[in-house]
Structure 1
């Protein structure tokens, strides 16, 4: 009796079915889309970093660093808030606020791949939630936002109030991939 070997079509069909069911088909975590977290380790379902990167960052500097940003020189009164009750597609989220002179705030929007500032005439519901602000921005407010080019899972949104010195609101969200 001849033993039959599965043909390429059956192998591909099985791989597609497994991919749809499990998210991977014989691939390592790296090849299946898992990305190293801020500490450089790749999260697994067994590790506590699977739902939150090993950041567990307490300082504004550390939180900003997770998303490729740095607190501008001369910034004061920096505070960080870890958001809870996140939507299903958001793995972790933070709000950072600080006060700095307006020139440094505008420079912040030109750093870390944020792309520069634009007039903030209105905020979307998502921006309002990310930033933790309510209502329409004051006239003269500026906004910038982008994904972090080195890790597109991080969405960064920045609102600069019109005063000088000014309060800067930063919303950071790491989306599931």
Structure 2
């Protein structure tokens, strides 16, 4: 059983496609993101790695606002692997990691650790202390490190952005059909 902070990422692999997110619930937006990352990796002949966080970042950042978790780390890993991801890099989200700047995350994780060649994230991407690393920052900062940035449009259900928060709200309101539609497109 994989525990938080363990990695199934091979140490000596040069170049990979990386997608980043909490992936709680693995809704249709997550599936679209991962599907694109897997396809890009196959096209380029390099592995696809998924970065996720455990526990949920709000557990550390704003514990009083931390939502009910939709999937365990093990469930997220299994779902990612079932979609064709080659490996998963779960990052232990604790107070020390929460202090990591966006530049430290880029260099230590994406460049040094994972040797990223392509990063694929959603348009609402954020990283680094205070969430200061957004998609515009990533698109401006990553290319000099040899990292191509591909931003995926957010998936919508009707007029609402598909998100784990929207799924939780649908479940709280008893709208099982909306939750199922966002989770698996059904």
More strand by share: 1
The interval holding the TM-score normalised by the smaller chain is under 0.3
Give the structure with the larger helix fraction: 2
TM-score (norm 1): 0.26
State which structure, 1 or 2, has the greater radius of gyration over its C-alpha atoms: 1
Higher RCO (CA-CA < 8 Å; seq separation 6+): 2
What TM-score do you get using the length of structure 2 for normalisation?
A: 0.25
